Amino acid sequence: MHRLGVLIAGLGMACAAAAAPTAGELRATCARALAAGYTGEHAVMCDWYVAPCGVCGEDGPPPRAWCVPDGTAPASVAAQVVRDMGQDDERRPAPVVVEEILRRRYPCAAEE
């Protein structure tokens, strides 16, 4: 019975990983949001990946490995990610590609 539980847990994790959009899908979603003035459901879906700590709150996960300057508009971050995604493989998982872009574009200071 224990092996079955481990197998089911493993399948659940695999399904969750597979549920993430590709970089190409996220780029298209963010581009639609930007074209609509960065409002509406496409903007919310884009923010889920390009500004994840915007929904974390004080009890959320620890800070990410990038530091977007205070006051930076979410649409500006999304536009940067969309531009940089144009250079990436569209089939790669969006969370991986976005993290690479944000780490490169918005590195944290050494003292943080």
* pLDDT tens by residue, 55-107: 565 665 556 678 888 889 999 999 999 999 876 678 899 999 999 999 999 99
Token output for 75: 């649409």
Q: How far apart are CA 1 and CA 96, in angstroms?
A: 34
Q: How far apart are CA 24 and CA 92, in angstroms?
A: 8
Token output for 97: 């590609």
Q: Judge contact between 88 and 23, C-beta under 8 A.
A: yes
| pLDDT tens, residue by residue, 7-62 | 344 444 444 455 789 999 999 999 999 999 999 999 999 998 888 765 565 665 55
Task: Judge if pTM exceeds 0.75.
Answer: no
- Each as own residue / partner, the long-range contacts of residues 103-109 (CB below 8 Å, 24 or more positions apart, any chain) are 103/65, 103/66, 105/66, 105/80, 106/66, 106/67, 106/68, 106/69, 106/77, 107/66, 107/67, 108/65, 108/66, 108/67, 109/67
What are the strands, taking DSSP E only, across 1-112?
Answer: none
